[in-house]
Structure 1
Amino acid sequence: MLDIVRKEQGIQYTPTNLADLLAIKLKYYSDNYFPEDKKITILDPACGDGSLLKSIDKYFSNYKSIGIDLDITAIDKAKQNLESTNTELINMDYLDYFDKPVLDKTIDLIIANPPYIRNTVMGAARSQELSSRFKIKGRLDMYQVFLQAMTENLRENGIICVITSNRYLTTKGGADTRKWLNENYKIFEILDLGDTKPFSAAVLPAIFIGQKKKNANNNSVPFTRIYETNNSASTEAKSYPELLSSDSGIINFNGHNYELIKGVLDASKNPKEVWNMATLEDNQWAKELEEHAKHKFDDVFKVHVGIKTTADNVFIKKDWSDLPISERPESPVLHNLISSKTITKWVQSDKKLLKILYTNKMENGKRTVIDFTKYPKAWNYLLNNKEQLAKRKYLKRANREWYEIWVPQRPDIMSKNKVVFPDISPNAKFMYDNNGLFVDGNCYWITVKPNVDEKYLLLATAVANSDVMQKYHTIKFQNVLYSGRKRYITQYVKEYLLPDIENTYSKKIIALMQSMLEEEKYNKKFEEKINYYVQKCFELK
């Protein structure tokens, strides 16, 4: 039970070898800024079982440390784990304690692994209170609050070494955090630990190391980035300090192979742009590709999200014929549905599609709910599931019927030719659909904007699936999940590049795509040719 509570509260104690890495980094940077004879004050504001403070004791000598934690059980465990008499342990919520005079701008160094709690877990009242108190906009995560509170406690030129979620590095929603860090710190180093899984929680961590200094020059920040790969390793690391001190390359760690990339990023640029962790060579390659492109996807396409029922077990099934005849929905209200589970690259496979009971129709150019008195079997089925469906109070608040799909999208647009792709996938999986499939909410779909030739969809399918565009995606959009899975979301795909459709090689690509559609199956030889033609389209050597 205790483990469940800790998970809900975002409590993830720091493994010893990762705690050692933070202590080693903090010691390295502090030695450059603090006299050898100065007694340093070090704070861990969420000390848990004391693992970070124990590592501090290994690498620091002339210091006093303060550990704070709300959990009395954790404090008791920390007392048992810490042999040093240099540490004061305080049982209190740090966010209620950080502005006490005893801490106010007196801290030289901070080492921290704050809790991973989003506003959906901490509750609306607490979330609103913290958002107002720390002036944080949008979706709140507890690490953002801790970052600001800890900065208040640091003395000018004090140094922080903190583990957080890596989301702020590569997502649109991280813009405010990127801006705040750039304005308040001289950033020494950023380590994206990727999917090395130091914690049991499904959070990908990053380490931020910086010195409290307003408006410093952060246009050349060293970074290290590491994610699992299928490539063979050339060396092995047995600990995080050993792993992160390695040169760029493929390294075996904890039984998995990881690609480690080191480079320099510009953290001072427009915070709406993600912090791009790519080598100079890769960035130069991406710049060349952009220079040779004719369009971005956003110029010619509209990207849509799929249907969100908020009751998939009711509306979506593999086989509706399993139901009693009296509840088996009539065929006009059942539609073939493509989802992340059934989607295939290039063209639709023979894999059996799901079917969705769809509750809306188009009437006089507007989407409206279907009159189910015309479909008595479907209506019987919905009535038998009313208890579950009626619990969706947000439908009632929106003046919608209890039996409706929450986000139905426009069926007339969805029935058109389009390109469909999953939200999350290890590799590109863009599928051309000319069968009018409906699209599940775990996928996105692309249609052409008004007055745009539909042949652009054929070109887009090929380009999006190509090795060229996947390399570009990896360089520019680095929101990678566990086991190398990538996000393919609107803000990324809108930035994909297209060559001139009148280019000789573009025309060859479109012809190959049309042949593949006619054969209604994937062809390896087509893919090899398409990869070659895409390179030629963008004038790549």
Structure 2
Amino acid sequence: MILTQEKKNGIQYTPDDLSLFIAQQLKYYFLRENSDSVSNQKLKLLDPACGDGNLLLAVQNVFKDIDYQGYGIDIDQKAIHIAEGKLNHNNFKLFSADYLSLIENVENVNLFNQPNSLNNEINNIDLIIANPPYIRTSILGAERSQHLAKLFNLSGKVDMYHVFLKAMTNTLKDNGILCVITSNKYLTNKSGKNIRDFLSDNFKILNIIDLGDTKPFSAAVLPAIFIGKKKKHSDNSSVPFTRVYESASSAKSTDSIDKLSTLLKEKNGIHSYKGHSFKVTSGLLDASVSDTPWNMATFAEKEWVTKLEKNAHKKFGDVFDVHVGIKTTADNVFIKKNWKDLDTNIRPEKEVLHPLVSSKTIERWQTHPDNLNTILYTHTIKNGKRIPIDFYKYPHAYNYLLEHKQQLAGRSYIKKAKRKWYEIWVPQQPEQLANNKVIFPDISQQAKFVYDDKGYYVDGNCYWLTTKNDVSNNYLLLATGVANSSIMEKYYNIKFQNVLYSGRKRYLTQYVKNYLLPDINNKHSQKIIKLVKMICKNPNDTKKLEKSINSEVQLAFNMQ
């Protein structure tokens, strides 16, 4: 894929309406936090990735009654020139520079103005407003990426906004205010723990606004606004939040909003914005705990979750192992719809071909066998261990693989791992794939859990559950009913909140293993198992049976 320079640099300039809202939030919280001791000195305000100046222009319009000196820095010299045309030169000094290089005192930085004093001027900043780049640091190259990770004590998959958050905190003076828009991933992802830790340790968190799938930017990024006062070891157990996501429910026809800033100020409920319905949820979250996602739920929602968890008997992780599907790294070779189209001498033997369930062929409760692809599987079990198949025993399959040897053998990671050139890269365990299991897609708008007793293989865009040792197969049937129920959908929406655009959810291991199960021995659980079996036998009755399952799940958890 060819990237524009903007995409390569993670550039997404802030729209006017959102810029104005962020500037208003910055002013409001500055005045609120300094109501008793507003300084007579001129404030220092910084945007370290100012782009073409939209955020600073909003500051200029909002901060008319406040004495400040503004600084704008951006690596893009053309963007700086555009910003210069927008802003009052008496209030702002603009520089073409790499902010991250400046604060780590790297030499040879290209500056327009005052090159000898900029490093000093951008220290002890009172106010920071920013929309830093949203890209992996790895795009900068291994050496630079590793240097930034070491400099700012970051580990794992590091985004540039992680680096900027730490760098801006270093630049900000004690009790200074930070108002920044970033990706919202750190709020709910397991990998966001380090940033959640850092923000909670270094700020009194004043507000968090998850913009969800309101799509303020053209790129496929879900943004969030963080507002904090630099103050170590603050009590962040009760932080105000607002969360806005597209909803399947309809808003009132008279409730039509044309500005995102207006939508973000609305009360809890469903509102119409740009022809779509959005649910606004506001309340208080506990940001003092970082091991789990920062849960943006109302008090009523949290009480409901607490009751459900109290009434649960087990978690999925207690009785199931969660697996990801097969990853071939050469789908065009290993996966086909119809192998019969090939010439006989290169048509793989049926013993090495297996029906494959993928996210496109899975629906709620069922898969359609006629729509399944078939995978040429390269592994078998010998003496309890997974080994590559000896394809000399399957000459037609081997002839087929030889036709694609250049592509398959060219996978450098295969060579490095000293694997056979024709191997699937992540084959999983074939004996487990052949067992009964529950399959579900990684990404979906709604729960799509399917009980499989046909030994289907599973594609890499899906996950699957198998029972742990000595666990009854009935748990798989119970899990299918519970996971597809309206109660577990509600639990996911409140507890995990990992929503992509247009209501699509990520059904990741870290979430599904924490799904809840009622006592399998109570009469309602037994009824759920029977109902799931009935759906498996007669999918035509799904709607009627699904309604009964929802009712039984509610009773099984004693949530009526």
What band does the TM-score fall into relative to the shorter chain?
over 0.9
Normalising by structure 1, report the TM-score.
0.97
Deviations 1:352-379 (A, max 9, x none): 2100010000111000001111112211
Q: Give 1:521 deviation, angstroms.
A: 5.2
Asked whether the equivalents of residues 348 and 521 of structure 1 are also in contact (C-alpha less than 8 Å), the reply is no
Match of 1:236 in 2: 256
Q: Which amino acid in structure 2 is aligned with residue 425 of structure 1?
A: S
Structure 2: which 5+ residue stretches go unaligned? 106-118
Q: Which amino acid in structure 2 is aligned with residue 240 of structure 1?
A: L
Alignment of 1:309-458 (within 5 A): 309-458=328-477
Q: Give 1:82 deviation, angstroms.
A: 2.0
Q: Give distance in 2, aligned partners of 1:156 and 1:40.
A: 13
Aligned partner of residue 187 in structure 1, secondary structure: strand
Q: Which amino acid in structure 1 is aligned with residue 213 of structure 2?
A: D
Are 1:86 and 2:91 an aligned pair? yes
| Correspondence for 2:226 among 203, 208, 211 | 208
Q: Which amino acid in structure 1 is aligned with residue 350 of structure 2?
A: S
| Correspondence for 1:47 among 31, 50, 55 | 50
Match of 1:285 in 2: 304
Q: Which amino acid in structure 2 is aligned with residue 238 of structure 1?
A: D
Q: Which amino acid in structure 2 is aligned with residue 310 of structure 1?
A: T
* Residues 521-530 or 288-297, more deviating: 521-530
Q: Give 1:253 deviation, angstroms.
A: 1.5
Q: Give distance in 1, aligned partners of 2:438 and 2:541.
A: 15
Match of 1:534 in 2: 553
Q: Give distance in 2, aligned partners of 1:231 and 1:308.
A: 37
Aligned partner of residue 262 in structure 1, secondary structure: strand
Asked whether the equivalents of residues 46 and 122 of structure 2 are also in contact (C-alpha less than 8 Å), the reply is no
Q: Give distance in 2, aligned partners of 1:352 and 1:358.
A: 19
Asked whether the equivalents of residues 191 and 206 of structure 1 are also in contact (C-alpha less than 8 Å), the reply is yes
Alignment of 1:103-114 (within 5 A): 103=121, 105-114=123-132
Deviations 1:185-210 (A, max 9, x none): 00000000001111111111000000
Aligned length: 540
Q: Give 1:225 deviation, angstroms.
A: 0.3
Q: Give distance in 2, aligned partners of 1:332 and 1:505.
A: 42
| Correspondence for 1:69 among 52, 74, 84 | 74
* Residues 205-214 or 512-521, more deviating: 512-521
Q: Give distance in 2, aligned partners of 1:518 and 1:251.
A: 41
Q: Give 1:519 deviation, angstroms.
A: 2.9
Q: Give 1:401 deviation, angstroms.
A: 0.9
Match of 1:59 in 2: 62
Q: Give 1:256 deviation, angstroms.
A: 1.7
Aligned partner of residue 250 in structure 1, secondary structure: strand
| Correspondence for 1:267 among 268, 287, 293 | 287
Q: Give distance in 2, aligned partners of 1:299 and 1:202.
A: 35
Match of 2:17 in 1: 17
Query: Matched residues, percent identical?
Result: 54
Q: Which amino acid in structure 1 is aligned with residue 57 of structure 2?
A: K
* Residues 74-83 or 394-403, more deviating: 74-83
Q: Give distance in 2, aligned partners of 1:401 and 1:99.
A: 46
Are 1:119 and 2:134 an aligned pair? no
| Correspondence for 1:258 among 268, 271, 278 | 278
Q: Which amino acid in structure 1 is aligned with residue 10 of structure 2?
A: G
Deviations 1:171-194 (A, max 9, x none): 111111001000000000000000
Deviations 1:310-329 (A, max 9, x none): 11111111111222222211
Q: Give 1:382 deviation, angstroms.
A: 1.1
Q: Give distance in 2, aligned partners of 1:522 and 1:180.
A: 52
Normalising by structure 2, report the TM-score.
0.94
Q: Give 1:348 deviation, angstroms.
A: 2.8
Q: Give 1:516 deviation, angstroms.
A: 2.4
* Residues 410-419 or 1-10, more deviating: 1-10
Q: Give distance in 2, aligned partners of 1:295 and 1:152.
A: 45
Q: Give 1:11 deviation, angstroms.
A: 0.7
Alignment of 1:156-235 (within 5 A): 156-234=174-252, 235=255
| Deviation >3 Å, runs of 4+ | none
* Residues 134-143 or 317-326, more deviating: 317-326
Asked whether the equivalents of residues 347 and 521 of structure 1 are also in contact (C-alpha less than 8 Å), the reply is no
Q: Give 1:38 deviation, angstroms.
A: 3.8
Q: Give 1:37 deviation, angstroms.
A: 4.2
Are 1:143 and 2:148 an aligned pair? no
* Residues 5-14 or 430-439, more deviating: 5-14
Asked whether the equivalents of residues 361 and 368 of structure 1 are also in contact (C-alpha less than 8 Å), the reply is yes
Aligned partner of residue 177 in structure 2, secondary structure: strand
- RMSD across aligned positions (CA): 1.5
Deviations 1:325-349 (A, max 9, x none): 2221111111000000001211333
* Residues 498-507 or 322-331, more deviating: 322-331
